[in-house]
Chains A and B, each alone.
Chain A
Amino acid sequence: MENNKYLREEILRMSGVNTSKCMKCGKCSATCPAYDEMEYHPHQFVGMVEMGDIEPLLKSESLYKCLSCFACVERCPRGVEPAKVVEAVRLVAVRRQGANRMTANDVPETIEEDTPQQLLVSAFRKYTK
């Protein structure tokens, strides 16, 4: 396992989360509505960032499965805010050169007659830089 101290610091700073507050109860993963789509689950994001084991997360599709619904943030008994950790890791990934998850070219095939603007706007905000 790699201990990437720089990335760890970067993610903690961006997210404002103190991952050492986690007591590993698993309530975040218990509450997650996108759990089954994820390879790494909310509690693993917290645990792996705490350990500096971040590269696997950066490569994982799980980054794009989080709904940012904040259920984990709301229900965490220790106030750890896992969703913010996921988001920070995702930003580290998409901010890398050419790593945008979505491009404008993807839009036509995604869009349907009744697709609300909101959906595209937020997808761009979440998946691109």
Chain B
Amino acid sequence: MKVSYFPGCTLKNKAKDLDAYAYRSAEALGVTLEEIENWQCCGGVFTTSQDEVATKLSSVRALKYAADREQPLVTVCSACHNVIKQTNHAMQTNKEFSAKVNRYMANDGGYNGEAEVYHYLEMLRDLVGFDKVKEAVKNTLKGKKIAAYYGCLLLRPSKVMGMDDPENPVIMEDLIRALGAEAVIFARRNECCGAYTSVESPETAKRNASAIVENAKAAGAEMIITACPLCKYNLVKNGADIPVVYFTEILAEALGVKEDTDGK
């Protein structure tokens, strides 16, 4: 299976290994990530205002690329995922918006929301199947107690993201279990860590991050996984005293592709 892949800015810079893990894990599961040519940054935030058009064009171009190839569009970063999925939803449901966008898209051909957007986690669940993931595990993570931290972008707004129950999600826990480890559920897993305001009010980010880590630890977690580079950065920066890693890292580890073997 081949999918269009939107890596996003962070995975190409500060979090390169996340990108590599994602590639190699997908390969091990029979999925080829085909990086979208000339992708442009999603902008990091989906501006909800209905009159914002230009800021959403880069997402539409990526969507158009996937639609032309009749491939699902896959992202690993939850911010990119959020922006692109919300943009796609707006293209599907908001006629005025899509008409405006298509005026900019004349040279590229029109786009009307034909593409399907998957987070890498959704790809594992819906396109690959967690049972297949389970079969592909080489180094089981048995005995590890891992808590999944969802943050805000992955699940909300749930009516658009449609990924999982926004208050009681299971997708990352199911992945943890598929990899052989024990999933630790804690209540703050869908509370915002505040990383967005690290620039504005670092104190919010710090307070929220430590409350999240404390809550996970109290529930018995020995490790936290995230699906958002920003969350990972924030939790680590604000002194998490248990490992905080990207979900693709434990996936790569369990699939036995964590170490770079083919020089990629």
User: Is chain B in direct contact with chain A in the complex (CB below 8 A)?
Assistant: yes
**Residues of chain A whose beta carbon lies under 8 Å from any beta carbon of chain B:** 13-16, 33-34, 37, 64-65, 67-71, 73-74, 81, 83-84, 87-88, 91, 102, 110, 114-123, 125-127
- A-chain residues with CB within 8 Å of residue B229 when the two chains form the complex: 116, 118
Asked if A15 and B48 sit within 8 Å, CB to CB, the answer is yes
Asked if A119 and B195 sit within 8 Å, CB to CB, the answer is yes
A77 to chain B, nearest CB (A): 13
Asked if B48 and A115 sit within 8 Å, CB to CB, the answer is no
The answer to whether the Cβ of B43 comes within 8 Å of any Cβ in the partner chain is yes
Asked if B14 and A14 sit within 8 Å, CB to CB, the answer is no
Q: How many Cβ-Cβ contacts under 8 Å join chain A to chain B?
A: 132
Asked if B198 and A33 sit within 8 Å, CB to CB, the answer is no
- B-chain residues with CB within 8 Å of residue A69 when the two chains form the complex: 151-153, 156, 191-192, 196
- B-chain residues with CB within 8 Å of residue A64 when the two chains form the complex: 197, 200-201
B198 to chain A, nearest CB (A): 6
Name which of A14, A70, A73, A125 has the most chain B CB atoms within 10 A of its CB.
A70
> A33-B191, A118-B230 known; A123 and B199 CB under 8 Å?
yes
Q: Within B1-56, which residues are at the interface with A (CB < 8 Å)?
A: 8-10, 13-15, 41, 43-45, 47-52, 55
> How many residues of B are counted as interface, with CB atoms below 8 angstroms from the partner's CB atoms?
45
Contact with B14, one of A91, A102, A114 (Cβ below 8 angstroms): A114
**Residues of chain B whose beta carbon lies under 8 Å from any beta carbon of chain A:** 8-10, 13-15, 41, 43-45, 47-52, 55, 77, 79, 151-153, 155-158, 166-167, 191-192, 194-201, 203-204, 208, 229-230, 233, 237
Asked if A121 and B9 sit within 8 Å, CB to CB, the answer is yes
**CB-nearest residue of chain B to A113:** B14
> A15-B49, A34-B204, A115-B14 known; A121 and B196 CB under 8 Å?
no
A106 to chain B, nearest CB (A): 8
A10 to chain B, nearest CB (A): 10
Contact with B79, one of A84, A91, A114, A118 (Cβ below 8 angstroms): A118
Asked if B192 and A119 sit within 8 Å, CB to CB, the answer is no
- A-chain residues with CB within 8 Å of residue B204 when the two chains form the complex: 33-34, 37, 65, 67
Asked if B200 and A14 sit within 8 Å, CB to CB, the answer is no
- A-chain residues with CB within 8 Å of residue B158 when the two chains form the complex: 74
Asked if B47 and A117 sit within 8 Å, CB to CB, the answer is no
